[in-house]
Chain A
Amino acid sequence: MSAVHVVGGIDLEVVHRGAGRPVLLLHGAQNVDPRAPFLEMLGRHAEIIAPSHPGFGRSARPADFETVYDLVHFYLEFLETLPHETVTLIGLSFGGWLAAELAVKCRHRLDGLVLVDAFGIKVSDRETPDILDVFNTSPQEVQRRSWHDPATWAPDLDALSDDELVVRARNWEALCLYGWNPYMYNPQLKRWLGRITVPTLVVWGASDGIVKPSYGRAYSSLIPGSRFELIERAGHHPEIEQARAFADTVVKFLDR
């Protein structure tokens, strides 16, 4: 289901699925679950390469490695290790921030970019947070704002093993370390989004209460030629809540 590769001296957990055109999938607050149906759906059309970021999942994190700057440069190195000349980059949530940074820096290794409910930029005024502070908000409120249908889709944590709980705690800690300040965005990134020249699709869950669709529209408008698509009846995780609609949207983009 997943394998460990050594990249840049770091033991990296990587999920591989499917065959075909290469797609590098950068996860959000949680590393990718190899059992997720959207992986299978996308894997029928592409080779999905889904690493766990250093510090997330079962990937190691060097002690001096604790900024998004580190992650972005790590993935620049990771791209160079891939045998493919170019890849399509998909970034979910926090991973969308990384994907946007990479697309600004590394146009020549990409043939497409998909941002899904992505973090990374500041849109609103200084007294209006764009992204819900998940660390300082009650768990109940975070849950309510994460899903279109929390009763159906919020994970059943009682079903998790202790190992899985430890992995989730690692993810939570790593997300905090990388994203605490400025909270989940790079103040400079918005300025450089115009450098992105690859075809770009921005996908958003219509019911996302973590970061609203209006933010996604603004994000899309800053990337030349970008297209914005809403997925109905989905919150912050359209790839989970509406796996079929999400996969169809992405595959259509891949087949463009």
Chain B
Amino acid sequence: MDAWWQCEVPYPFVPQEVLNATDSVRASLPNRYCDPKVAADLFEEVIDEFLLCDDHGLNVLAVEHHAGINSLLGANPLLVGILARQTRQVRILSLGTLISLRKDPVRVAEEYATADVISRGRLEIGFVKSGGTEMASNHANPVNNIERYWEAIDLIKKALSHHDGPFSWEGKHFTHRHVNIWPRPWQQPHPRMWSATGDPETAAEVGRRGMVHVLVLRGPDGTRRAYAAHRKAREEAGLPKVTTDNFAYAAFVYVGDTDEEGLRVGSKLLWFLHTSLKSAPQYSRFLPGVAPPSAAPGRQGGVLHPAQAGLTGPRQGRVHRRRDPRVRTLLHAREHPRRLRGLPRRRHHRLRDGQERLRSRQQDHAPRARDRRRPEPYRQVLRLREGLVDLRQELEGLHCLHEPSRLLPILTQRAG
């Protein structure tokens, strides 16, 4: 199993009364609540943590979200560029530039190729479909989002792998008559590509394309369905079977010395679900394109829809409410707290031993300034690195997660 450290750089410093009063903490919360000095400190701390990962051989992952307290990483390519230069050994996964929001995939290909060259071939390229609030904050039509997603990937892939002078692209959503990027990527024909998706239809396409398939915070049933769709699509297309190296899973992880610590500190991560993703219905389930119209009767209970303005609409209150997948994840976490947030006692000792060894090694050389900044994330880097084998066993205990060989822990230590 390999693991990739990520921190979404959430911003948990907006007064709670402001968060309570607003209908959405993403897309529409005024940025006057974001203090640039605080943001600068956050970026400095998080980038230092990424560099600490590099010191200890833990791969890093740069994510992207827009216009919300859940993440300040609206400009993922900037972070990827910094990591490409400042890290020296680990692999860097961009997961990723939200390509269906970007007007020019060729420019995205240039950014990726440049980062791959600067890092001397340590870049991995991940694609994410984007969320509802990001359609608003990036002026992106949600209805044909998936079409743009695949076409952008096709164009980026060709731009990275074509080396014979300019080529022309006149697609449905993107046109670029003279594509010829410099530099070309370090890795040939292009860096490995990942895609984060959970719905079976997109999962099948990920399978046909042979990309690394990432599930983010999906419950057992959804995860099983997505991986099965991936495999089935490959089989139907006559493609070779994939190994578990093609499957990755992103989950909240906190490794404690004890179960009590794991639960106590790890529970802070739930702030990310409880608070930082609060999203108004017009950005989520009432957003066109989020689900097919045939699903409308099951999606619309309980919340007023614009239809009530005479423009479109669902009914109130009488149909079954679709269960929010985030709630399922949260319930699952509560039902299996030891599995995800603590480690069984016998492993604590191993972890502690490992930390002692690490501490001894650190004493052999002068620690860098970044090692002293915030002790908790640093402890996590060390514990996670040492505890990977244990984590894998923990994940294997969850029937839904026996397949992925790649773990993407989401760490939001500032939460709460």
Contact = CB atoms under 8 A, between A and B. Distances in A.
A139 B304 contact: yes
A176 B288 contact: yes
B136 A29 contact: no
Interface in A226-256: 236-237, 240
A154 B308 contact: yes
Contacts of B303: 139
Interface size class for chain A? 35 or more
Contacts of A157: 300, 305, 307-308, 313-316
Contact of A168 (B295, B307, B317): B307
Interface string B247-284: 00000000000000000000000000000000011110
A243 to B, nearest CB: 14
Nearest to B307: A168
A168 B313 contact: yes
A192 interface: no
A146 B143 contact: no
A29 B296 contact: no
B23 interface: yes
Contacts of A176: 141-143, 288-289
B393 interface: no
A69 B294 CA distance: 27
Nearest to B289: A173
Given A157-B305, A176-B141, A139 B288 contact: no
Contacts of A64: 172
A29 B311 contact: yes
Given A172-B311, A173-B143, A162 B306 contact: no
Nearest to A158: B315
A32 to B, nearest CB: 13
Contacts of A173: 143, 288-289, 293
Nearest to A167: B293
Interface residues of B, number: 40
Contacts of B237: none
Contact of A30 (B282, B295, B312): B312
A145 interface: yes
Q: Is the interface of B mostly helix, strand, loop or mixed?
A: loop
Q: Is the interface of A mostly helix, strand, loop or mixed?
A: helix
Contacts of B142: 135, 176
A116 to B, nearest CB: 13
B312 A66 contact: no
B308 A172 contact: no
A167 B293 CA distance: 7
A152 B300 CA distance: 21
A70 B286 CA distance: 26
A228 B281 CA distance: 37
Listed residue (B280, B308, B309) with the most chain A CB atoms within 10 angstroms of its CB:
B309
Nearest to A156: B315
Listed residue (A154, A155, A162) with the most chain B CB atoms within 10 angstroms of its CB:
A155
A1 B139 CA distance: 39
A119 to B, nearest CB: 12
A66 B293 CA distance: 16
Given A166-B294, A177-B141, A172 B282 contact: no
B310 interface: yes
B293 A139 contact: no
Contact of A29 (B139, B280, B289, B312): B312
Given A157-B315, A158-B315, A162-B297, A172 B309 contact: no
Interface of A: 29-30, 64, 66, 134-140, 142-147, 150, 153-155, 157-160, 162, 165-173, 175-177, 180-181, 236-237, 240
Given A134-B306, A137-B306, A158-B315, 13 more contacts: A134-B311, A135-B287, A136-B27, A139-B309, A143-B308, A143-B310, A147-B310, A154-B308, A155-B310, A157-B313, A172-B307, A177-B141, A177-B144
